[in-house]
Structure 1
Amino acid sequence: MKPFRRRLQPAPIAQARQLVTRLSAGAILCVAAAIPALAEPSHGLAMYGEPALPADFTHLPYTNPEAPKGGTFVTGNTGGFDSLNPFIIRGTVPWQLRFMTHESLMYRTQDEPFTLYGLLAESVETDPNRSWVEFTLRPEAAFSDGSPVTVEDVMWTYETLGTIGNARYLGLWQSIDSMEQTGPRSVRFNFRGEDREQALVIGLWPVLKKAQWADEDFTRSGLDVVPIGSSPYVIDSFEAGRNVVLKRNPDYWGNDLPIRQGIANFDEIRIEFFGDQAALFESFKAGEISFVREFNAEKWDRDYDFPAIRSGDIVKAEIPSERPSGITGFVMNTRRAPFNDIRVRDAMIHAFNFEYINETITGGKQPRITSYFSHSQLGMREGPAEGRVRELLAPFADRLAPGALDGYALPAGDGSARNRANIRTAAGLLDEAGWVTGDDGVRRNAAGDPLRFEILLRQGDQQNEAIIDIYMNALERLGVQAGVTTVDNAQYAMRIESFDFDMTDIRRQFSLSPGNDQRIYWGGDTADQPGSRNLMGVKNPAIDAMVEAMLASRSSEDFTAAVRALDRILTTGRYVIPIFMFDKGRVAHDAALKYPEEIPIYGDSVYWLPEVWWMDPEG
């Protein structure tokens, strides 16, 4: 196959696929020769500094290269599924498939803030400004059907995902100026603009097999086509809505790679589906699934004292983590009234009696999320913005919410059920926003319309249902007509993709090196794209500027200042009612399951459980 180049003009996405220019191999070599030799191929790439592991490392520090292979690992999901393609907008897919069936050019270690090591690619090369990045594929890299992973597969995958795939890929695709084959196994991406993270993020996209989709509609959801990947696991069988069975591929191409030592240790991974969380938990207690993650500290202490725990057949493990809190809670859709008014959003936060809810739900054992990056050095600091943070925010002073520059903290209640002081504040904010209580006790605007909204929840989400039950009492006292709608996973996904909600639950987890993901979550360009993860619908140039500052940072100090500035904008924007953080992982598991003593800085995640765990053959 001849080397070729695709230049992507700044045009609508629909046109981008047509803008393809094929160059001869000689022309490509001339272009390559004209580029100064500013970099050398490397085994890894870090956001700042150099990778911690040398080129001759033998395994990741938090894996056990001597871990035995074998056994069946069973995990549980709630709801159902109607698709096996996790890379498109349509369909409800077992969430694990996105991580377990396909590989990327590079692998992100869980023990460094943001460092990648070669996986499908044997080397990575970039210039000092990271205006381009080049990957060279390993000659042995292969899909599960034995066919080689080629540059053509990589380029087709990136163009397909970037134009008709899931919305999570769109933003980065638009930042790619061109991609070109530079050798039999090499591909280069040239970027638009200054964004030092792009060189890393581009290495984390999954790679699909182009030939599989030659006669298929890639965008069509369904169960009749199982995407072919290159990972250690392949989909072996499934029963629609009931289970999916993954088998470890004995002929997996990467069995001898250092990056894969001590990883993918189970012969079989089964994903079983249950109607709700209660049914899943009962199945776990009966020994039918291998583990559960518990996100409620009170339940962890109260409900994990059943016979299998007492006999030692099930073990409770608490896993430390250094990652930021992220944001978990209830998001308000600013595309719609009444949540397009910050005063109404502020009132909803004041009405949320966190201290009482936390005591009721978790026994007060889980700390509250105080900002999007709390529980880390990246989080906003108390009091007024200072130094570099203030410098970054100052040009946008007229676009910032109250408190962004002068200081802000979430309202604190007195722990009582009535929450009187905060309810009074909420009532005053609603009055100011024009929602006044009438003789019937209902708040109405000048047109006589009641203050009414819907809270959308997923079926089986018992914890959020319990939280909202308490919250509804406060809303009723305020004269707000709120209703709760519970739908199954498929309906929920459809409504979220089309932004058909007023308030719903949200959970966003962040790394110690946030970057382009922030553009996906709250970038103005994504706010109106169907399937966007910008659930609140925020469009704020100050947010976009802080993300750009993060991505252009050359030092960890500048980067930290930009993230703290972004944290202030998001937190003071009153888009989300935060609840409690998950400051540690709580995993109850079959005693036969083992994991290494060294825990990575990111703690528990799908890249740790089940990825580095194994089954003790002696139980």
Structure 2
Amino acid sequence: MRHAAPGLGLLLGALLGGPALAATPTEVPTVHGLALYGKPSLPAGFTHLPHADPDAPVGGSLIRSAIGSFDSTNPFIIRGTPATGLTEIYDTLLTQNPDEPFSMYGLLAEGVRLDPERQWIEFDLHPEARFHDGEPVTAEDVIFSFETLTERGQPFYAAYYADVVDIRAVDEDTVHVDLADSESRELPLILGQLPILPAHFWEDRDFEATTRDALLGSGPYRIATVDPGRRIVYERVPDYWGKDLPVNRGRHNIERLVYDYYRDQTVALEAFKAGNLDMRIESSARNWATAYDFPALTEGLVKRLEVADGQPAGMQAYVMNLRRDKFQDVRVREALNLAFDFEWLNRNLFYGAYERTRSYFANSGMAADGLPSEAERQMLEPYRQSLPDEVFSSPLPIEHPDELRPRLARALELLDEAGYAVRNGVMTHRDSGAPLRLEVLLYDTQFERVVQPLLQNLAKLGIEGDIRIVDVNQYLNRLRSFDFDMIVGSFPQSANPGNEQRDFWTSEFADVPQSRNLIGLSEPVIDDLVEDLIAADSRQALDTAAQALDRVLRWGFYVIPQWHLGHTRIALWNKFGWQEPFPEYNLDLHAWWVDPRRAEEIEDRQRNR
């Protein structure tokens, strides 16, 4: 379906200087992409993404590790443990250019019309779009996907698309979506991130049941082999409908993507060194500093890269579960923060590799700093009676003693104020007589050595702490039901945070199984600040809203912030090619390829070792 140029309604509104009349789809031009602010960098008619090589060779395999196990090939539901990499089989309406902060370009949708007032959006589906069984992708598939994911999928989808009022088919290949008056600037773009499922495939299937079937998609890969709990293999679709689209040309070059499952990271590292894995994204500073000194590296068969990360660092932290009474008092939470000695860890375990994380939007202009700006203060002033005085009067970062001894002394003062006292060496509540105990839930033994120093410091305060290590399936089940005291959790952030913040912080998702509100936050002030952030209509307004939210979260001491790194560490067998410079905002492994000559040389040398 094609539409005409802007009409008289918009023109009269502009000439008279008043609000424009409601735009109709025939008055709004069809465009090839959208940007959160301004226009997309790539013009209509671009041939490929700048970091992709349209002449890259096709073939080869990429074998990587996954940790634990899996029992499902449906990544969209609450039940089961999904396999790694399942999004490879699904196309979305639009796709992001990793070299821009937040711009989306046509994938399943070849054209987009967005109301100037952002009250509706329309997507024109590409006439060639096909699922892997040859059936066309239609407007009904888009509607089915939206309704199924928001009503029967993980709670994330309901939060992400909460401001959609209505979705309907204009015709077989055009979808119209009405948007609420929430002023969520990113909503039109994140609608483009919706994975499109085949309605005909699910017609006689239970979407909410776990399955190990090779599910149907329309993306560049399909499931080739499922070995439950051990391996999943994806193969490149030779007649993929979208292989020549500008956003895909020179991408998805590798023939087979393989994920082998290992018990833990230590075993996976040894598998990489033995040549059983092709690539490893290293999360351990100790491993990066000491574990790669083996012959293949010195011989040039293995290569190491550090790729700069252009996104905010987000928050990795010890997350306290506010659903437990012991964490309800902010003074207890601050005392636990004081027992964490990052400098000792960084010096003794991390080889000085990390920076301390202090902000939920670390490594970005959205991080709160110093005292509130005038704009921040205006945003926070209506909530003054509900917020600690420090939000307005004390600068960030929060000042705590540098040395451990005075930190622990201050922690004892806070615990005393919260009604605790040490009895027979145990921190005990004076009224209830209950000891202050906590358990850190883990699934990876690699993190045990990092948790132990915190527990040792807590023991100096009389707080009893334990580590409980369980398998991945049990860990995920306990997360779904929020059955933990403390976990190592993360709240990743993009350069343009928006609707996903509801799932992280708001009351609506505090008790929804498998939501990402791990803390159990249910604070009206935070709910409102999240909505302010989502409604931001400029970069400056977004930064201010994020800073206000960040400031309130930090003074709540809901987590014990850990550390971050400004780049991604990659170890790989030297058979891959890519174009530099890398995209500024996200690493795009889909634009890599296997060099056939180098792959053959490495295989020969591995056989002869």
Structure 1 residue 445 displacement after superposition: 3.7
2:161/2:187 contact within 8 Å kept: no
Identity of aligned residues (%): 39
The aligned counterpart of 1:307 is 295
Structure 1 residue 77 displacement after superposition: 0.6
Separation in structure 1 between the aligned mates of residue 469 and residue 208 of structure 2, nearest angstrom: 28
Q: Find 1:197's aligned residue among 186, 210, 230.
A: 186
3-state secondary structure, aligned to 1:405: helix
Cα deviation digits, residues 318-354 of structure 1 (max 9, x gap): 1012211100121001111111211111111001111
Residue 546 of structure 1 pairs with residue 529 of structure 2:
yes
The aligned counterpart of 2:485 is 502
Residue 219 of structure 1 pairs with residue 208 of structure 2:
yes
The aligned counterpart of 1:318 is 306
The aligned counterpart of 2:131 is 143
The aligned counterpart of 2:247 is 259
For residue 591 of structure 2, what is the amino acid of its counterpart? V
Separation in structure 2 between the aligned mates of residue 346 and residue 557 of structure 1, nearest angstrom: 31
1:236/1:246 contact within 8 Å kept: yes
The aligned counterpart of 1:63 is 52
For residue 403 of structure 1, what is the amino acid of its counterpart? E
What is the root-mean-square deviation of aligned Cα atoms in Å? 1.6
The aligned counterpart of 2:159 is 171
Structure 1 residue 38 displacement after superposition: 4.9
Separation in structure 2 between the aligned mates of residue 488 and residue 305 of structure 1, nearest angstrom: 30
3-state secondary structure, aligned to 1:282: helix
Structure 1 residue 542 displacement after superposition: 2.4
Unaligned runs of 5+ in 1: 1-32
**Does the C-alpha gap of structure 1 residues 38 and 499 become closer, same or farther in structure 2, counting only changes over 3 Å?**
farther
1:605-616 matches, within 5 Å, as 608-609=588-589, 611-616=590-595
Residue 100 of structure 1 pairs with residue 88 of structure 2:
yes
**Does the C-alpha gap of structure 1 residues 166 and 465 become closer, same or farther in structure 2, counting only changes over 3 Å?**
same
1:472-551 matches, within 5 Å, as 472-551=455-534
Separation in structure 2 between the aligned mates of residue 303 and residue 219 of structure 1, nearest angstrom: 42
Separation in structure 2 between the aligned mates of residue 594 and residue 412 of structure 1, nearest angstrom: 47
Structure 1 residue 295 displacement after superposition: 2.3
The aligned counterpart of 1:12 is none
Separation in structure 1 between the aligned mates of residue 456 and residue 229 of structure 2, nearest angstrom: 36
Separation in structure 2 between the aligned mates of residue 422 and residue 236 of structure 1, nearest angstrom: 55
The aligned counterpart of 1:17 is none
Residue 206 of structure 1 pairs with residue 186 of structure 2:
no
**Does the C-alpha gap of structure 1 residues 595 and 399 become closer, same or farther in structure 2, counting only changes over 3 Å?**
farther
For residue 442 of structure 2, what is the amino acid of its counterpart? L
The aligned counterpart of 2:410 is 425
After TM superposition, what 4+ stretches of structure 1 lie above 6 angstroms from structure 2? none
**Does the C-alpha gap of structure 1 residues 48 and 362 become closer, same or farther in structure 2, counting only changes over 3 Å?**
same
For residue 135 of structure 1, what is the amino acid of its counterpart? F
1:430-469 matches, within 5 Å, as 430-458=415-443, 460-462=444-446, 464-469=447-452
The aligned counterpart of 1:91 is 80
Separation in structure 2 between the aligned mates of residue 530 and residue 493 of structure 1, nearest angstrom: 11
Separation in structure 1 between the aligned mates of residue 426 and residue 554 of structure 2, nearest angstrom: 31
Structure 1 residue 48 displacement after superposition: 0.6
1:176/1:192 contact within 8 Å kept: yes
Residue 388 of structure 1 pairs with residue 375 of structure 2:
yes
The aligned counterpart of 1:13 is none
Residue 78 of structure 1 pairs with residue 57 of structure 2:
no
Residue 576 of structure 1 pairs with residue 564 of structure 2:
no
Separation in structure 2 between the aligned mates of residue 488 and residue 38 of structure 1, nearest angstrom: 56
Residue 602 of structure 1 pairs with residue 580 of structure 2:
no
Separation in structure 2 between the aligned mates of residue 276 and residue 66 of structure 1, nearest angstrom: 38
Q: Find 1:44's aligned residue among 33, 37, 52.
A: 33
The aligned counterpart of 2:4 is none
Structure 1 residue 480 displacement after superposition: 0.8
The aligned counterpart of 1:370 is 358
Structure 1 residue 132 displacement after superposition: 1.1
- Aligned length, in residue pairs: 575
**Does the C-alpha gap of structure 1 residues 435 and 469 become closer, same or farther in structure 2, counting only changes over 3 Å?**
same
Cα deviation digits, residues 70-100 of structure 1 (max 9, x gap): 0011010110000010011111112321x31
More off after superposition, 33-42 vs 492-501:
33-42
Unaligned runs of 5+ in 2: 1-21, 599-609
Separation in structure 2 between the aligned mates of residue 482 and residue 63 of structure 1, nearest angstrom: 50
The aligned counterpart of 2:226 is 238
Structure 1 residue 554 displacement after superposition: 2.1
3-state secondary structure, aligned to 1:469: helix
Separation in structure 2 between the aligned mates of residue 64 and residue 338 of structure 1, nearest angstrom: 55
Q: TM-score, normalised by structure 1?
A: 0.90
3-state secondary structure, aligned to 1:117: strand
For residue 523 of structure 2, what is the amino acid of its counterpart? N
Structure 1 residue 413 displacement after superposition: 5.6
For residue 408 of structure 2, what is the amino acid of its counterpart? I
**Does the C-alpha gap of structure 1 residues 404 and 262 become closer, same or farther in structure 2, counting only changes over 3 Å?**
farther
Residue 404 of structure 1 pairs with residue 391 of structure 2:
yes
1:234/1:248 contact within 8 Å kept: yes
For residue 534 of structure 1, what is the amino acid of its counterpart? N
Structure 1 residue 312 displacement after superposition: 0.6
Separation in structure 2 between the aligned mates of residue 354 and residue 172 of structure 1, nearest angstrom: 34
For residue 533 of structure 2, what is the amino acid of its counterpart? M
